[in-house]
Structure 1
Amino acid sequence: MGADLPADLWKRLTGTVGLVVARRDAELVNVMAAEWAYFVNRTPLYAAVALGPQAVTRDLIAQTGGYSLTLCAQDQAELADFVGSFSLADVDKTTSELLDLGAPAVTDTPWVRGGVVALECELRHVLALPVHRLFVAEVVAAHLPTTPARPLVKHGPMHGLGPALRAGRVVVGVRRDPAGVLTVAATGPPGTGGPWHVTLLPDTAGEIPLGSHPSTVYGDLQVRIPLPPSVPLDDARVRVERDGAHPGFARLAPHRGPRTPPPAPA
C-alpha cells in the first residue's frame, strides 16, 4: 500500500484560470470558471477542461459538441470568482456587467473578452475520470487582445505574475559512452551570445580544458567531446562556463539518489 496522500494535494497545482462558455440553445448561455484548463496538443491545437460532477456545463458541452475557453487575465480575478461560485441553476451569470461576450467566428458559442486568449473549441474526445470528466476539443478559432495581457494564476488563491525570471546559472548534464566520448548538454541565460567553455575536473588536482563551443539553434549547448586517455574519471566532474552566468557542474557518474527500502512484512 502506498503512502497516504493529503486530501488537498491537488491545490499544489499552478495553472491559469479558464472561463468556459457553453450554450444549450439560441437563448441559454452559461459561463463557469475552470481551474484545470490546458493546451494538450500542438498540431492540431487541442485544449482540454476538466469539470466536476456538479457542473451543469458538462451536459451542455455534451449536447452541443463544443465550448469556448478564455484564459483569464489577472484583472479578471473577481469575474472568475463570481462565475465559479454560482450555478446556472442559481442565477443567470451573463447578466453581470463585468462579463463581456464576443461574437464567435466559427462556432455558435460566444467567448469572454478581456483574457490572455479566447478559444473557440469543437469537442473531439470525452474522457471519464473517477470523479471529473475531461473534455478535449480542437481549437478552431482564437481571439487575441490588442494589448498582451498578464495571466491570472491559480495556486491555492489566485495570483498575478511578477516580472519574468532571469536565469543566472548554467545547468549541465553529461553522458559518457563506452568509446570514451562525452556528451555535454547545458542551458543558461539567453542573450550573452558568447561560447560555452567546457572543463574536465578529474578526481585528482588540476583542470583539463575541453574547448569552447557555440550554441545550438535553440541557444543551448549540446556537444560531443572525446575524453583524454589515461585520466582517472571515477569521481571526475565537468564545469561549463559562459559569460554573464554562474558556472554549472555535472558528475560523470550518475546520481541515483537513495533507495527506499521495501516495507517490513506485516
Structure 2
Amino acid sequence: MTRDIPGDLWKRLTSTVGLVVTGHDGTTNVMSAEWSYFVNKQPLYAAVALGPRTASRRRLEAAGEFSLTLCAEDQAALADFAGSFSVTDVDKTSSDLVRLGTPEVTATPWVTGGVLAVECRLRRTVPLPAHTLYVGEVVAAHLPDDPARPLVKHGGMHTLGAPAPRTAVVAAAQLRPDGTLRVAATGPATETAPMWQVTLQPPDGPPIPLGMHAPSSHGDLLTDIPLPPETDRSLLPAHHVLVARGRATRGRAAVSVEASPAGHHRTPDEATLPGAAR
C-alpha cells in the first residue's frame, strides 16, 4: 500500500466512450471524450470533460450547445480516429465512418450508430485545474431501432462480456432506538418467491424466525421488525440476522446498534424512507 498517486490512475476508470460534435463558423467537428456522463436526472444533464488543448472547447463555448453520442462496441476504430486528430489538422467528418444525423432541436448534428445520442444546450461551465467540465441540458434524444452494446474504456477499449450474475442476498441489520430491528437486503429478482424471510440467529441456541416480509417498490427489503418480547437487546450485537429469498445464497449480517444522540431528530432526507438513499 502507498499514498503515492500514480500519474495514470485515471485510466482505472471505466466509462463509455463519447463522441462530441460541435458546430462553429460553418464547420462541424467530432472528437472523442472519454469522460462523458449523465450527471442529473430531472432535467437530464450530460457532461463532458475536455482537455486544455482541445479546440472543441472554444467551439462549444461559442455555440452554446453540443451533441454527445455514446459509442457502440463496433465504433472503436471511429473513437480512436476522432481522438487522434484535431479539427485544426483535418476535417474528420469527411471519413466514411462519421455519419451525422439531422438535429431536431439544436443546430448541431450528432453521430449515428451509437448506444444513444443527445442534443444538449450548454448550462454550466466548470473550470478544473487542467480540464473544463461542460454540462449541458438534454433537449433531444436519438435511440437506435435495435439496442446497441456500449464500447467501454478501461485503459484500452473493451466490449462488454456476459452480464454479472446475481446469486446472493446481501443484508444489513441495525437495532433502532425504538427497539425495532431494521433489516435491509438486496438480491436477485424472483417471481416465484418474492417475499423475504428474516431470521435472528443467536450465538448459541436455535434460530428465531422474524417472519416473511414484502419487497419494496424496487424489489429490495427495508423493514423495521418488532423483536419478540423475551429478546435481551443488550445481547443483540452478538447475534446475526439471516435473510433468505428464493434459491439465492442467503445474506448474513451482524446486528449493529444505532446511536441516538441527545437532541438529534432524524428527518426523511436522512434515508429513513425506502429508496431515499438511491
The TM-score with structure 2 as length reference comes to 0.88
Question: What is the CA-CA distance between 1:227 and the residue it aligns to?
Answer: 1.9
Question: What is the CA-CA distance between 1:203 and the residue it aligns to?
Answer: 2.1
Q: Quick one: distance in 2 between partners of 1:157 and 1:193?
A: 41
Aligned equivalent of 2:211: 211
Report whether the alignment pairs 1:224 with 2:207. Answer: no
Aligned equivalent of 2:6: 6
Percent identity over paired residues: 56
Structure 1 runs of 4+ with >4 Å offset? none
Q: Quick one: distance in 2 between partners of 1:6 and 1:235?
A: 42
Equivalent pair of 2:190/2:246 in contact (CA under 8 Å): no
Question: What is the CA-CA distance between 1:226 and the residue it aligns to?
Answer: 1.3
Q: Quick one: distance in 2 between partners of 1:23 and 1:73?
A: 23
Aligned equivalent of 2:184: 185
Question: What is the CA-CA distance between 1:165 and the residue it aligns to?
Answer: 2.0
Equivalent pair of 1:203/1:233 in contact (CA under 8 Å): no
Q: Quick one: distance in 2 between partners of 1:193 and 1:157?
A: 41
Q: Quick one: distance in 1 between partners of 2:95 and 2:5?
A: 39
Question: What is the CA-CA distance between 1:193 and the residue it aligns to?
Answer: 4.1
Report whether the alignment pairs 1:144 with 2:143. Answer: yes
Q: Quick one: distance in 2 between partners of 1:109 and 1:243?
A: 50
SS of 2:237's equivalent in the other structure is coil
Equivalent pair of 1:19/1:112 in contact (CA under 8 Å): yes
Q: How many residues align?
A: 252
Q: Quick one: distance in 2 between partners of 1:253 and 1:203?
A: 15
**Which of 236, 241, 247 lines up with 1:244 in the alignment?**
247
Aligned equivalent of 1:132: 131
Moved more, 218-227 or 148-157: 218-227
The TM-score with structure 1 as length reference comes to 0.92
Q: Quick one: distance in 1 between partners of 2:75 and 2:17?
A: 9
Aligned equivalent of 1:47: 46
SS of 1:68's equivalent in the other structure is strand
Aligned equivalent of 1:233: 236
Q: Quick one: distance in 1 between partners of 2:237 and 2:54?
A: 59
Aligned equivalent of 1:122: 121
Q: Quick one: distance in 2 between partners of 1:126 and 1:170?
A: 42
Question: What is the CA-CA distance between 1:90 and the residue it aligns to?
Answer: 1.3
Aligned equivalent of 2:155: 156
Q: What amino acid is the match of 1:235? A: A
SS of 2:238's equivalent in the other structure is coil
Report whether the alignment pairs 1:18 with 2:7. Answer: no
